[in-house]
Amino acid sequence: MSGDLLLFLLFFVGLVATTASLMRAQRQSREMEARRAKAIEAKVSQMRQETEEDVTTFGEALRDLDMEMIGKEVSAEGRKDWNTALDCYDRAKTLMAQDKGTRSIPLVTETLEEGRHSIACVQARANGEPIPEVRPPCFFDPAHGPSTTDVMYSPDGGVARKVPACAADAQRIQQGRSPWIRTVDVNGAQLPYWQAGPDYAPWVQGYYRRYESDPVISGLAVGGLGLVGLGLFSALFDDF
């Protein structure tokens, strides 16, 4: 075999090997991109599902309000609050329908938070009770509605911190029982939503961002949550 032929064969073999390597790298890159896109799609779907569940739960609260108000006199102010709650429900549904991603989620949860307070106002007026102050949603599950008090909470025996709680969860803690904590799926495990990582930041922001000046919420932010700075619930109890 001549030297020229040998060089040609070596060049050809090298070219084939290089081409095969490039094709393999491109295929692996496409596969990685496909897996990444699939993972993002799954996270978006999960976030939307959680938010849609909150919208549904709020709709159920409105239906319960209908039943609760039967036989009760609702004042003009109460009707105004009721209409606000109904408007919030319609707006939340519209926002979810207009955006198939997660950009509208903060607006949806902010709207639901406003609507929950309006429902509480209707109930208070109808029962002759003082109008509830505007307070952050229940920490254990914002879908529980506005908090009524602050409680000391120490998950898993960690450092206790003050958190806003709805009446039901506050009572459970006072009785030595566990609060009803919102859990979400994280890699096949059910974890408290504040441990779910950055994917839930938009959901959290809508519920809590107007309370950034609240001492309890700002205290949580300093402690690791960072609600004021669009922080993540996954960092809330980092030191526990």
29 domain residue, yes or no = no
Render each residue's pLDDT in the chain as its tens digit; 240 residues. 566 666 666 666 666 667 767 777 677 666 666 566 565 566 778 889 999 999 999 999 999 999 999 999 999 999 999 999 999 999 999 999 998 888 899 999 999 999 999 999 999 999 999 999 999 999 999 999 999 999 998 866 667 888 999 999 999 999 999 999 999 988 888 988 888 878 888 898 899 888 888 888 877 765 544 433 334 443 333 332
**Residue 110: per-residue pLDDT:** 96
Are 227 and 204 contacting, i.e. CB atoms less than 8 angstroms apart? yes
94 domain residue, yes or no = no
213 domain residue, yes or no = yes
| Helix 105-126 × helix 3-68 angle, to 10° | 10
Give the separation between CA 94 and CA 76, rounded to whole angstroms: 27
pTM of the model as a whole: 0.77
**Residue 81: per-residue pLDDT:** 98
239 domain residue, yes or no = yes
- What phi, psi does 96 have (nearest 5°)? -65, -35
Domain span at residue 204 reads 151-240
Write out the two tokens for 89.
């429900």
**Residue 131: per-residue pLDDT:** 95
Are 159 and 239 contacting, i.e. CB atoms less than 8 angstroms apart? yes
208 domain residue, yes or no = yes
> By C-alpha distance, which of 132, 149, 84 is closest to 112?
84
5 domain residue, yes or no = no
170 domain residue, yes or no = yes
95 domain residue, yes or no = no
Q: Domain count of the chain?
A: 1
**Residue 227: per-residue pLDDT:** 39
